Amino acid sequence: MSRHPHGNTALKAARQHAGYSSQQAFVDALNRAAPRIGLSEMEVSVRQVRRWESNTPPWPRTEHQRLLVHVLQLPVERLGFTPPWEVRESTIGRGASAAQVGHTVLGSPLPQASKPVQPATIGADYSMITAAHRRMYSTVQPDHLHPAVVEHTRLGLQLLAETSGVPRRVVSLALAESLLIAGRIEFFDLRQPDAADATFVHALQAAGEANDSLLGSAILAHAAFIPGWANHPAETANRLRAARTYARRGSASAEFVAWIYAVEAECHTRCGQPGEALAAIASAEAALASEDESRSPEWFTWFSGARLVAFKGNIQLLAGRWSQARDSLTEALTGLEAGESKQRAVVLADLAAVEVAAAKPMESCKRLHEALDQLAITWYATGMERVRKVREGLQPWADSDEVQSIDDRLYGWSATLNALRG
């Protein structure tokens, strides 16, 4: 949060320059503009504007940033706000969290090299580490991997100040992927959606520097999960629309197109729209069945036919189609590869939920034990969230030995500490 002894004079000046002499007039203009840019569910108050013009203005939410920029026609950095990732160097290394350190990596714009000092091989060298982190994501504990990825992004930013031409583009591309990995960990593994949202903004900036539309699409689709899981369908749709636009520019493969449909399906599910979710899954299946021979990039490792079936099974579960969900989830479990312990935990928890719906608590507990075995290998907040939800459904059988054995594992020392952290 930035500090202004006399209030945020930059925003106040921009507001007055745009012709809004009072905060109320500015609020009215913002609320009129919101539906025009796809933010019909948003309403700004005078109190919010007062906070933005205060001595300590908070960094605006992503939707608010879009609205401010649209109405005032100025970048948000010129409106007196300091991004939360621009932490003073004195803060870094003195108890700053991994997320706080991660958000110091990028400002605006990216640094340019006044005199390139790195060799032509630096891009390949930096990319090798990014690729290693990509492989580690499925097996290394997230609270161990995240700090390493964050430090790698800090190095990438420094290298951008020391490279130009092709090496700079290669570093930018690897930096964008590293930031995407960091954002994935923050959102899916550590349950830090605000941190992930900011990280995805930085990732998109680096992908733009590399002029890689396909990676930009991947970042935007990941960013769509954040409003999708928060039940903000308008902002979700806007981000997915942008993701599809970038995918088209990047000549996306059928597999990549199917994944975007799968993201859309999960977001519809989170927003309580199972019919729309099943339609999106059908579109994903059609895309995957097409004869498009385009190849996906090597960094596209988080989707497969088995994972699409897992998406489908979860949606069928939430739509109350228990028999179909059991069939889909069993198929997905068979199709997952040995190293996919995170996804396996999610599918097992969903299968446990199917058994709860069928009033089969013993079978449900068996699946939960299998899911917890996977989570013991690699912690995954999303998987544990599914397990806890199933345990709520088992409450009618809470006195049974089978359910109590689940409680013993859920509230063991290690699991309890992970739950408090995640």
Q: Is 324 exposed, middle or buried (0-12, 13-18, 19+ CB in 10 A)?
A: middle
**Which residue from 163, 158, 156 is spatially nearest to 180, judged by alpha carbons?**
156
Which string of b and e fits 10-41 if b means at least 16 CB within 10 Å?
A: bbbebbeeeebeebeebbebbeebbeebbbee
Q: Give the mean pLDDT of the chain.
A: 88
Which residue did the predictor score with more confidence, 39 or 349? Answer: 349
* pLDDT tens digits along 141-188: 998 999 999 999 999 998 998 999 999 999 999 999 999 999 999 999
Distance between CA atoms of residues 313 and 328, nearest Å? 5
* pLDDT tens digits along 369-383: 999 999 988 889 899
Cβ atoms of 216 and 208 within 8 Å: the answer is yes
* pLDDT tens digits along 390-417: 999 999 999 999 999 999 999 876 666 6
- Can you give the residue ranges of every domain in the chain? 9-79, 337-421
**Which residue from 264, 335, 240, 256 is spatially nearest to 299, judged by alpha carbons?**
256
pLDDT at 98 over 50: no
